[in-house]
Every structure is written in structure tokens, then in C-alpha cells.
Structure 1
Amino acid sequence: MRPRSRWAFQHVAVGGAESVVFFWLPAPRFGRETAPVRLRGLDPAARYRGEATGEVQHGAVLLGHGLRQQMPSGDCASAVVHLVRVVQAVGFHQRGPALVIR
């Protein structure tokens, strides 16, 4: 049996308003890109903002394609991604300001 090259653990708030994903890479994989991690428990019709980067992604993409995380270099590298569901403010254009549910 081949050892796992990467680990990811996801925690989702009740209702899917927030999610935290923990990534752990025991050893570097030179010249090989890691596959995205498909998330669970999110609303496919919603959009989610990464708290650290501000990047917004659609729930359907996170569920179907997955979340790709750039890992720091070195052995036992880890990263944490905190996603928060974004709600459009009433009366604003789709690309306008958004409110974050907390």
C-alpha cells in the first residue's frame, strides 16, 4: 500500500455558512502538482470567500472540481483555508459590494 502524499480535513458549520479546510503535506512532491480537494457540505448555489485571500469561488466548483491549495515548501508543510458564504446585498449589482455572514 502506498502512503498518502497529502492529507486534508474539512469542518463545515451547520447550514454550510462556513468551512475550514486543513491541508498537510508530509513531504514535498517535486515536479508533481497535487490534485484539488473536493469539498463537502457547502451550498452549490452560493459563493464562498477565502478569509485570508479574499478570493471568491462558487460552491458548485468547490464541490465538483475542488479546492487547490498552494503549500509552503519543506517537510510537514501545512495550510488552513477558512471559507465564508457570501450573501449579495439587496439593491446592489451582482458585481457590487457583498455582505459576509458571520
Structure 2
Amino acid sequence: MNFIDKCIRGLSLPADIDDAVQTWHDDPEIRVDLSDYLGFDKEEYSAWLADGSIIQSVIAARVSGLSLFEYLQSAMELPMAARGQGLSADSAVIKWLRKTGRLG
């Protein structure tokens, strides 16, 4: 089970991601890319690299059955929800999403 799945099932906390990354580095038997070990798709992984705090939104998107970008778009349309997820127009991930054309 990957890290994101563990978070969804309540077996890990998003704040534990650094420990998961350290385990990936330290365990020679893990033979998958870090993104696969953590459970990110390509877009989620890129967003997480731009802003580690996006992990909360990745989990919320998965639980909601939305892609990360659908979730972020809907969250940005509701200012209170965006603030609740730590999102603002000035956040690093929102700037990155706009710069790469992934978010309007």
C-alpha cells in the first residue's frame, strides 16, 4: 500500500510524508520510483515538488473522486474552501499551476 492510500485509510498522516521519503531512500529493497512509492500520479508529484503542502489537497481530491486540478479549480472558486486547504492565489503551487497552464 502506498503512502497516499495509507493516508486515505487513516493509517498515516500527511505530516508523515518526510518519514516515508526517508524510508524510500534507506530501504534497498524498494525498487520503485519515489512518486510510485508515495502513490502520486505524474501531475500530483509535480505539484508536490513545487509545494509540499499540496499533500492535503491530493488526499482530498482522491477522496472526492476528482483529479487534483479539478479539485483545486473548484477550491479556488470557493474562497473559504481554498483558505481551508491552505490555498491562495499567492501559494507556490497555484502560481506553478498557472504558469504551466494547468489552472486558469
TM-score bin, normalised by smaller chain = under 0.3
Higher relative contact order (CA 8 A, sep 6+): 1
TM-score (norm 2): 0.23
Q: Which structure carries more helix by proportion?
A: 2
Structure 1 length as normaliser, TM-score? Answer: 0.24
Larger radius of gyration: 1
Name the structure with the higher strand share: 1
